[in-house]
Structure 1
């Protein structure tokens, strides 16, 4: 028995010694690690439960994550006795580029429920002990978007959202708002509220000048709330263009990149900044938009009921001077810049360039222009089957002879039309700050039949109004200018084909001048120095056709597109209205 007693004492002593040498960390280390792991995992309940005041900790941590988000990293940096140190990093913004880094200290102690972190909000974040924290970006003084002449095109302005709640007096609201939007009626507002299923709806947003006369009446209307906010708006309310959205995005990107940030604590006396960085100043964005030409382009399209667009470029610099669309086009999106359509006979500019560059003909080469020709199994008619007999190429081009062009294209190499189009900018795409564009597509015409179709801008050939304006600008300049809408930021092409020989573009300009003086666009002969090419492009079952016109006048190149026009005539007329308008 004595032996056994001695053994028990020995084992007990050994056990105590082993416990003293255990690899387990002491309790302050353990509770600090578990607390940090819970915070790092966004587990508010677990973190709060590890404190000596779980209820207060849970509420405070909940408001912290609500105010700062959940992109945070917590690490235990050090533990000394009952005190521990935390290294914390918060990431803010959609890209997480803004960071708030800090170090805090906390304490832990033994309670009846084991070791706990002593709850102090400042252990988690500086300033949290003074009130709830929130993060917000801090933007610089807003820049302006200027036009080509340096005038204000767009500025940040106050707009007011007119919001209606269920039970609102829709008749009174409709009566006040109908002046600005005739489509707003009592019935339309009631329908909007019904569809919202108990949620408020925004009836309209109004500029300050518009809402000022009716602000008091709207505020007094049952169920109506006015919510002011700032937006980038055109200084001219009537100004509209597909380019404006791209410039707005560029403006917002510039403001976001320059923005600072602030973490603030909400106290009884207001807010106190706890951390942050000041914003950097931003410069005004000088656009290339010519306001007078922009208005002229838009006005020229207003009488047209089908979708229509105009794109105007300065050949010497690639500056986008105007991009106009009518209301019908606006419902389909920015068709002026990204809409793809068969370009019809405006593509004969490319076909003629390919023929001239290959040496298959000169402008004076006499060629047949029958009214109808059967070429490679494809029956090709001229418009109304007109027959010119034997004429020089420059005449066939000016009069838009399909049969002549199709006959010449058959003998070209399969890649000739594609390569020539790219040398004039068509089929080359650009990444341009403030501008989203697609030029078009010209596939390799592997068979003679495909070359026949492509030669007159049909088959698989497509182009946007922007793409055809770039073709005209390339002919005018002698090479394709990089498009630019924000000064100093030209587009980057996905490829850079060599320009056509100057002799080829020179011949093209001479033939395009004849289109105006004695060809298919003589109604524009009064406009000095104008060069052009008309186009009618059948589509679908060939019972309908789009109308096109591309033109050059001095340092101006442009394209006009009108959907379902039936012929090039309406596009030529729209070009005339734009060019003759005072600006």
Structure 2
């Protein structure tokens, strides 16, 4: 081997086969890189593990995410608890940066996390995690800060929603008709009551009786029976003064709870009871505003530690109605003392804006009778019959007409009230004195659809979709038979009207055509069944004169001192004909109104209520 290997003294040369030498060298080449430079891949990288962890976490697969950590059980518990507490619509999480540690130092991974709670509510932030090696490769070193940098040990995250106070509801003059106030809900949790349910129910009903006399032991027992044991049965909602009044009697009862909530209420109990609650319900989206929300941390004791995100609530703008506080109060003071169901509706003819909708407690028990009740209108319907006759061209207000004590139409006898007989008088006088016989004859001689058309010209039978309330004006069907038209002619046949409908009638006369009713400002009323062409001006002028004559010389002279009032009285029999409702409908200036007293016997009481109402407006 001269020239290649020098021979060292004392070294013995053993000749080895070439194949064996190459095998040994090859083994050295395979072993050395693994022990030295780390060029061979031994598993997923730290970044890959972090991405897998974040992907499983975002997908809600908490068990899989936890297996990527060095403390799987602790990670799974906190991840699951957090997801349940926050209840997101979705979660996204991704790696943003990687800082590799040198030697045995951990690798630090930055991540961006977004929680989507729906309705545009997104909470985004960045955090970091450390990845360390274990016997199986890289793992996330578990700590609560992996979820959020400010989340410490023994803490949890919580999502909170913050409802704004509902917007107030205002009247036409800016007066606050409804405003937000904290109310106390009296509730009972069945499983917390104990064995003596009947005793607790009896004590609760007795304790509530001074402020809620309609609550009974039987009602509470039924409510508890129908409510799951771990849920709360809502007994009643109380204003704060009422709650404080009965608190000593009910506060210590087992299972009874008193959560509070903010709701819109009127300053005076039962004020505009059939209007304002309906406005608040129908326009809830406009009133509620935009909820706020926050994410907070809580410690092991449940105490809030830190607010991590906060979006404050945004209250809505106030809702303005057309109601007049002055007119509404006048109407309520006129009907509230009455022992039987009564209602007043008032409207501004020039605009169709409702000024008042009032009814008393007996009426409230039957629903919104002021707006949707259907009653025979009695002689107030003679306004419609008079219009139909005037529009026919057969008569005017000066035309002599007969007003006998009774008349017969196709075999049916129709009497005047108390059988009065005026003989032959001008139509205006027959209207003012309310001659049934005259108007029965006029109606019988009209075409079958004449009363229907005239009624719709004055808004009776028209259909409206009025934002804030539901209304029914009434119905005036076509009458083929003369005897049916005769009965309808003085409001005792098949015609029906609500106080709202008769207000539309008088407002249409005052305005010269049907106005479009409205309750909420900046809203539009839809007319689903419109009126025909408005009446002629000549007919309207004569109707106004005839209605004024009712107050000056007719059946409502009691109102002669109430200003330039024009109107019509009505005694409307119902049932077997032995009982009657009392009506007065009319207008004064730019205010039209209708007064209904159910089961009043005559119209005289309705006229007296109208006088009381007008005296305060």
* 1:368 matched to 2:399: no
Find the partner of 2:181 among 143, 157, 160: 157
Aligned equivalents of 1:367, 1:132: Cα separation in 2: 86
What's 1:415 paired with? 449
Shift of 1:508: 0.9
Matches within 5 A, 1:207-222: 207-212=239-244, 219=251
Aligned equivalents of 1:436, 1:299: Cα separation in 2: 24
Aligned equivalents of 1:443, 1:119: Cα separation in 2: 79
SS in 2 for 1:525: helix
Shift of 1:215: 5.3
SS in 2 for 1:320: strand
Aligned equivalents of 1:475, 1:253: Cα separation in 2: 37
Aligned equivalents of 2:574, 2:603: Cα separation in 1: 14
- Say whether the 8 Å CA contact 1:154–1:235 is kept in structure 2: yes
Aligned equivalents of 1:173, 1:197: Cα separation in 2: 19
Structure 1, 482-491 or 556-565: larger mean CA deviation: 482-491
Structure 1, 325-334 or 243-252: larger mean CA deviation: 243-252
Shift of 1:310: 0.9
Find the partner of 2:161 among 136, 140, 157: 136
Shift of 1:190: 7.7
Aligned equivalents of 1:452, 1:56: Cα separation in 2: 88
Give 1 or 2 for the bigger CA radius of gyration. 2
* 1:244 matched to 2:269: no
Normalising by the residue count of structure 2, what TM-score does the alignment of the two structures yield? 0.72
Shift of 1:287: 2.6
Matches within 5 A, 1:388-427: 388-427=422-461
Shift of 1:155: 1.3
Find the partner of 1:477 among 511, 521, 534: 511
Find the partner of 1:337 among 346, 371, 393: 371
- Say whether the 8 Å CA contact 1:263–1:275 is kept in structure 2: yes
Matches within 5 A, 1:9-408: 47=61, 53=67, 72=89, 92=118, 98=120, 100=122, 131-134=156-159, 136=161, 138-139=163-164, 142-163=166-187, 166=193, 177-181=208-212, 204-212=236-244, 219=251, 224-237=256-269, 239-249=271-281, 252-256=284-288, 258-262=289-293, 264-268=295-299, 270=304, 279-408=313-442
Aligned equivalents of 1:119, 1:416: Cα separation in 2: 86
* 1:39-76 C-alpha deviation (Å, 9 max, x unpaired): 6xxxx7xx456555597788667656755668x46899
Normalising by the residue count of structure 1, what TM-score does the alignment of the two structures yield? 0.76
What's 1:22 paired with? none
SS in 2 for 1:242: coil
Number of residues paired by the alignment?
Answer: 541
Q: 1:74 to 1:238 in 2, by over 3 A?
A: closer
Aligned equivalents of 1:266, 1:558: Cα separation in 2: 59
- Say whether the 8 Å CA contact 1:259–1:279 is kept in structure 2: yes
* 1:572 matched to 2:616: no
- Say whether the 8 Å CA contact 1:106–1:118 is kept in structure 2: no
Aligned equivalents of 2:226, 2:314: Cα separation in 1: 44
Structure 1, 223-232 or 347-356: larger mean CA deviation: 223-232
* 1:380-417 C-alpha deviation (Å, 9 max, x unpaired): 22223322222211111112222222222233333322
* 1:291-330 C-alpha deviation (Å, 9 max, x unpaired): 2332222222234322211111122222222211111111
- Say whether the 8 Å CA contact 1:440–1:464 is kept in structure 2: yes
SS in 2 for 1:360: coil
* 1:436 matched to 2:470: yes
